[in-house]
Structure 1
Amino acid sequence: MAETVNEVYDVIIIGAGPCGLGVAARLREETPSAMFTDEEHQRYHWIKKHRGKMSLVRAQRRKNKGVPTNLQICRPESCCVRGNSKYSTLVLDSSGSRWMERWNRAFLALEIDHLRSPMFFHFDPGDRDGLLAYTRETGREKELFELSGCVGHELSKHKRKKMRNQSQFPHEAEINERDRKDYFTPGTRLFADYCASIITRYGLDGVDQIRQSDVHDIKFAEIEGSKENTKLFTVSTCCGSLHSRAVVLAIGPGHTKMMPWELSPEEQRGACHSSEIGMKFPSPLLAKKIEYREVTNVVVVGGGLTSAQISHVAIRKGVTKVWHIMRSELKIKHFDVGLNWVGKFKNYDKAVFWSADDDRERFEMLQSARNGGSITPRYYKLLKQHIAHGRLSIHTNTVIREKHFDPISQTWRLSTDPPIPELPLCIDYICFATGMQTDVTQMPLLQSMNRDYPIETMNGLPCLTDDLMWKASVPLFVTGRLASLRLGPAAPNLEGARAGAERIAWALEDVPGMTCTGADRPREEEDLHKAFCGLGNRYSSLNEE
């Protein structure tokens, strides 16, 4: 019996994190910051807000002359929402039914009070300086954290050279004093409120807009029983199948944990991955030992910022000592990529990246730009304080060579290479801050796409089209870390979320069967939009009174 397709969405977005929210917001922004200046934004939305209305003074004059008026009341609640989506959209997320659910849980679990990103890193499609403007409008400048040593010349040449030699402040972190206002990081609460304001502005807080559901598979084919004449996507979830003309994959690096070894069911009682910190750390036995003030030892594995945050949180929760192990050198940087890739003057390096001969060359540039995990100067300062108090020991260029887990005492016996003489015989818990595996060929939800529409990959990253599509004729769009070969080293960051959303929004207009730009607009409003964009004859939108 053929399946009956009752509802077909224009777009299904998989992932309600920064990348998914960035795409959803951009699809409702008619004058994106990539195309329009702030003044043009203000003028267009003022014209749109007051279209069909007139000033009270002008209305009163007409009334005195006996001329009928068509004065309308502009309701504040309708003016604050910018536009209606020209696409029917549904968002699927495995973490919850609200935007940024996983992001907020991670920040809460790791007790992160400030973002690592500078002020111009966000996914607001309307204004590059939107976060800075929101901070000033709400009078919350005190919630900003200045990136010390990143701007200006307040340090002596000798001290600056010494910091560079120690890899504490890389050369590309020095910027012009005129841009000081940009190089603050927002507080976690401030950024969350700014995200909430974006959600409200674009009307993305509707009921049932986000469904909590795991996606098992994505297929693209003609469907029997469908009224559509083109191929459709079938998105299989734990709650059934959904259909759409386009799909946006905004899941970050994926959900496959990178571990030094696969944990057995028994070992999982004494260890966890950084993505599970909020649920598994501290374990019930470790929490009980801390409560009874027993001596406890925890090993943290990893060299990135998350590993430093876990070490800091473990000590704050009462762990006696943390043994922080990393297989490389300790790298200290303000950002995970240099400002030459993400700052205001990033065009040169991006141009070199985009003009590379092939994806292998681009991948090498990605590796060089990110250069593994790093820790911010602020967290390095916190770690040094813990070291001074004997609560933390950091061991670089070190790996775990042998391990044994005792299921009765739920403790570990570890040996390392090179050996750590002071390492206790009994370790109470291990936290692996070793990241996620990025490989589209191993993702279960892409098994059908890899089989039916195979594409080239480079070390697990898909070789997408320039529009971030799976293939030219397959409107599966990919953004975030998985789009690094097209967006560059900043793809996993908030900056990449905004850049990816911009490309996807433009490409969606060419998807077969998709709602055209002005289909749901009144003729007058469509003429106004075209005139504002400099398209067609702008005098055609003028009507005589």
Structure 2
Amino acid sequence: MVQLHDILIIGAGPCGLAVAARLREQTPSAIFTDSEHQRYHWINKHKGRMNLIRRRPGKMGSLGIPKQQAVSVKERASSVSSEGSNASTPTTSTAENDSATSLSSQASDFESEPEEEEEQSPTLKILDSTGPNWLTKWHRAFRTLEIAQLRSPMFFHVDPSDRDGMLAYTTEQSRESDLWEIPGCVGKEISKHKKKKQQRQRLKQKKGNLGVLGDTEIDERDRKDYFSPGTALFRDFCESVVGRYGLDKKGLIEEGEVADITYGYVDDVDSVKKVFTVATKDGSVFHARAVVLAVGPGGKKIMPFELSDQEREGACHSSEIRPGLFPSVHVKRKIQARKETNLVVVGGGLSSAQIVDMAIRKGVSKVWFLMRSDFKVKHFDITLTWMGKFKNYEKAVFWSADTDEERLEMIKTARGGGSITPRYQKILQHHASAKRVSIHTRTTIASRTYNPSTKTWHLTTNPPIPDFPAEIDHIYFATGMHMDVNELPFLQKMHSEYPIRSIGGLPCLTDDLMWQAEVPLYMTGRLAALRLGPGAPNLEGARLGAERVAWSLEEVLGRRAFGKDGQDEGDVERSVECFCGLGNRYARLAEA
């Protein structure tokens, strides 16, 4: 009989890791508010006396956590409790004591789990095209461009158990020196834009007068969040998450590039329902009850023009750069011979600035930095209004939009194209003052000729650059990637048999990030942007997407168990609504 996995995750990047970790986390404290925590632990306290959703071995309802975490959680609870009792202010004491109670409850639950809890968790399989380890492509990209720090703040990470998990890990490991302060965020006022005012007016019309918000700013108390981790710190933190949830087992991740996904009945599989069949390019076949597509940016390279086979000798996309192969062999030889070298970098985002800086540090004489639009400087790739204390307001506007077309426009406005961080702005300014970099905004390549014998380019630009050199040694296109769900080759059968609508290349998924209500193919990351918002491609989007996917999977895969327990469908639905705090939990009494 062919092996049938409960869940198959395609992609071992941050989005895939976030989903896998969330599936092993029983109480995701990072996501829930205080009131939701109270409901969660109230259910745990009374679960032996109430007919809530029943848990069965091997089903999604028995989502577990590695037993070894119970000890660390209990220690944290004791520590927080003792600190809370000595707190100087009532507010702090109450918050910390609540936290201690929550953690103690979690520790008690963990210790009471049976020895075979790990076996009761859903069976997972992860496929990744780049290797049998977590974040292989992610780490390679940072290593290739010699990036020292992440662009994200401390609360953007993949740990579902604690919003401040990375901050706690940094303190625990005494690695505060690996943090980079993000200046100019905390307490900085952000001017209103006409677009934001229009969105607020629309929300008022729909929901009633909510009052006028003042200028947005990030609270001073959140200053600790606005540091970015070094790449080594983030790597080690992710490894700690992998180890904590038992995601480092040999054979869990298998290298393979997906060629095709189908959904239907399979004769050789012990299942009375439809299952997914996932085939890879090397001929391997996997079967699963649910599939999560967490493929990251991927997709098609955005290029200003197509390169011929001959031209590819002297140009490449930034995604094609490999460790140790920058700059190109031809350019390296000229640098070693102490000859003048000239590179062109095309782009306007952070990657383009990093390539410019790396080229100068490698000995290139001069880099010509061409941008199609203006030189935009932002701390993050989305606006601060989506990250500050009023971010929930922005999300409310997004979620209350009438159409997906309107949401797409909000995404475009919030992201605003490529941008460069203030730190790299200073680096580029330093190189420019030394005449090593020439920056040209609103400039494109008008014509090109490649000479294979000299391995150089003759370029003209629009508008013309007066002192532009006659020979360019290499061109790097840091112009991003385009993800279109309709163009992914392995989804063509899904489009044919279970068609869905898409807008701007983004699929119109269900609110649970599912392909269709009855087709448990989930998407997270960039492809889930119409449901998660502008931050979907970021680390925060990875964690939020994982939360939605996990809740839905628990219900979808748990339906088989509910029928065996004798609960009718209505009881199950009411239990789920009560558990999630939806509707009126006292309505059941009226039916008795």
TM-score (normalised: structure 1): 0.83
Q: 2:252 aligns with which of 204, 209, 226?
A: 209
Matching residue of 2:16: 20
Inter-partner Cα distance in structure 2 for 1:85 and 1:451: 36
**1:448 — aligned with what?**
493
Pair 1:436 & 2:471 matched? no
Contact kept, 8 Å, 2:9 with 2:127, in 1: the verdict is yes
Q: Which of the numbers 156, 177, 201 marks the counterpart of 1:142? A: 177
Match of 1:488 in 2: 533
**How far apart, in 1, do the equivalents of 2:468 and 2:19 lie?**
48
Counterpart contact for 1:254–1:443, Cα < 8 Å = no
- Aligned in 2, Cα 1:114/1:512: closer, same or farther, shift over 3 Å? closer
| Distance apart, 1:255 and its partner CA | 3.2
- Per the TM alignment, residue 253 of structure 1 is displaced from its structure 2 partner at its CA by 2.6
The AA in structure 1 aligned to 2:449 is H
Q: How far is the alpha carbon of 1:224 from its aligned partner?
A: 2.4
Residue 293 of structure 2 aligns to which amino acid in structure 1? Answer: L
Aligned pairs for 1:359-438 (under 5 A) are 359-438=404-483
Which of these residues, 257, 280, 294, is aligned with residue 250 of structure 1? 294
Contact 2:217–2:389 under 8 Å retained in 1:
no
Cα deviation digits, residues 78-125 of structure 1 (max 9, x gap): 9xx996672111111111111011110111111111111111111110
Which amino acid counterpart does residue 483 of structure 2 have in structure 1? T
Asked if the contact 1:508/1:514 (under 8 Å) is kept, the reply is: no
Q: Report deviation, 1:174.
A: 4.1
Aligned to 1:522: none
1:342 maps to 2:403: no
Instruction: Please state how far the C-alpha of 1:339 moved relative to its aligned partner.
Output: 2.4
Match for residue 43 of structure 1 among 96, 100, 104: 104
Which of residues 239, 257, 277 in structure 2 aligns to 1:196?
Answer: 239
Q: Is the 8 Å Cα contact of residues 255 and 437 (structure 1) preserved in structure 2?
A: yes
SS of match in other structure, 1:442? coil
Shift of 1:41: 4.9
Matched, 1:220 2:263: yes
- The one-letter code matched in structure 2 to 1:131 is M
- Residues 502-539 of structure 1: CA deviation (Å, up to 9, x unaligned): 0000111232577759x9xxxxxxxxxx9xx899xxxx
Contact in 1 for aligned 2:219/2:388 (Cα 8 Å): no
Give the aligned partner of residue 322 of structure 2: 278
Partner of 1:301: 346
Change (3 A) 1:144 1:464: same
Write the deviation string for residues 170-201 of structure 1: whole angstroms up to 9, x where unpaired. Answer: x9884221111111111111111111110010
State the 1:263 CA deviation.
Answer: 1.6
Of 87, 104, 116 in structure 1, the residue corresponding to residue 139 of structure 2 is 104
For 1:458, give the aligned amino acid. Answer: I
Question: For structure 1, which segment, 132-141 or 489-498, has the greater mean C-alpha deviation from structure 2 after superposition?
Answer: 132-141
Per-residue deviation, residues 280-325 of structure 1 (Å, max 9, x unmatched):
5322111111222211111001000111011011111111111010
Q: Partner amino acid for 1:224?
A: D
For residue 342 of structure 1, report the CA deviation from its aligned partner: 2.7
Structure 1 residue aligned with 2:211: none
Paired residue for 1:353, among 398, 403, 419? 398
Seen in structure 2, the aligned counterparts of structure 1 residues 445 and 192 have a Cα distance that, compared at 3 Å, is: same
Q: Deviations over 1:41-84 (max 9, x none)?
A: 5213421354499xxxxxxxxxxxxxxxxxxxxxxxx9xx9966
1:133 equivalent to 2:168? Answer yes
Partner SS state of residue 260, structure 1: coil
What corresponds to 2:69 in structure 1?
A: none
| Residue 9, structure 1, aligned to residue 5, structure 2 | yes
Distance (Å, rounded) in 2 between the aligned partners of 1:291 and 1:82: 60
Ranges of 4+ aligned residues in structure 1 off by more than 3 Å: 35-41, 48-53, 81-85, 171-174, 512-517
Aligned to 2:71: none
Does the aligned pair in 2 maintain the 1:28–1:85 contact within 8 Å?
A: no
Query: Residue 30 and residue 349 in structure 1: after superposition, are their counterparts in 2 closer, same or farther (change >3 A)?
Result: same
Counterpart Cα distance in 1 of 2:20 and 2:362? 38
Partner amino acid, structure 2, of 1:125? P
Tell me the CA shift for residue 423 of structure 1.
1.3
SS at match of 1:508: helix
In the alignment, structure 2 segments of 5+ residues that lack a partner are 38-97, 192-213, 565-575, 582-592
Aligned-residue offset at 1:376 = 0.3
For 2:227, which of 161, 184, 192 is the aligned residue?
A: 184
Number of residue pairs the alignment of both structures matches? 479
SS in 2 for 1:511: helix
Q: CA deviation at 1:438?
A: 1.3
**Conserved 8 A contact 1:332-1:380:** yes
| 1:139, distance to aligned residue in structure 2 (A) | 1.0
* Contact preservation (8 Å) 1:254, 1:438: yes
Structure 2 counterpart of 1:124, one-letter code? D
Contact 1:82 1:202 in 2 (8 A): no
For the 8 Å contact 1:333–1:375, the answer to whether it is kept is yes
Tell whether 2:259 aligns with 1:263. Answer: no
Whole-angstrom distance in 2 between the partners of 1:6 and 1:172: 59
Aligned to 1:175: 218
Counterparts in 2 of 1:294 and 1:82: CA distance versus 1, 3 Å: farther
SS at match of 1:380: helix
The answer to whether the Cα contact below 8 Å between 2:299 and 2:484 also exists between their aligned partners in 1 is no
Structure 2 counterpart SS, 1:509: helix
Query: Is the alpha carbon distance of 1:49 and 1:365 closer, same or farther for their aligned partners in structure 2, counting shifts above 3 Å?
Result: closer
Change (3 A) 1:212 1:418: same
Distance in 2 between residues matched to 1:404 and 1:485, nearest whole Å: 41
SS of residue matched to 2:481: coil
Amino acid aligned to 1:27: L
* Alpha-carbon shift at residue 238 of structure 1 (Å): 2.2
Give the helix-richer structure, 1 or 2: 2
Q: Which amino acid aligns with 2:248?
A: D
CA distance in 2, matches of 1:288, 1:460: 42
Structure 2 CA distance for aligned equivalents of residues 287 and 172 of structure 1 = 51
Quick one: which amino acid aligns to residue 401 of structure 1?
A: A
Q: For residues 512 and 26 of structure 1, what CA distance do their matches in structure 2 show?
A: 15
Distance 1:173 1:430, change over 3 A: farther
Q: Give the letter aligned to residue 539 of structure 2.
A: L
Aligned match of 1:524: none
Which letter maps to 1:492? Answer: P
What's the C-alpha RMSD, in Å, of the aligned pairs?
Answer: 2.5
Q: Mean alpha-carbon deviation: is it higher for 138-147 or for 34-43?
A: 34-43
Q: What residue in structure 1 maps to residue 28 of structure 2?
A: 32
Aligned partners of 1:343, 1:127: CA distance in 2, in Å?
19
- Identity, in percent, stands at 55
**8 A contact 1:305–1:376 mirrored in 2:** yes
5 Å-filtered alignment, 1:73-112, equals 86-112=121-147
Change (3 A) 1:206 1:448: same
Q: Aligned letter for 2:411?
A: L
Letter in structure 2 aligned against 1:93: D
Q: For residues 337-369 of structure 1, what are the alpha-carbon distances to aligned partners after superposition, in whole Å with 9 as ceiling and x for unaligned?
A: 122213343110101100100100000000111
Pairwise CA distance, 1:256: 1.4
CA contact (8 A) 1:350 1:488 kept: yes
Structure 1: runs of 5 or more not aligned = 54-77, 162-170, 520-529, 536-545
Deviation of residue 226 (structure 1)? Answer: 2.5
Q: Secondary structure at the match of 2:486?
A: helix
Aligned residue in 2 for 1:117: 152
**CA-CA distance at 1:424 after TM superposition:** 0.9
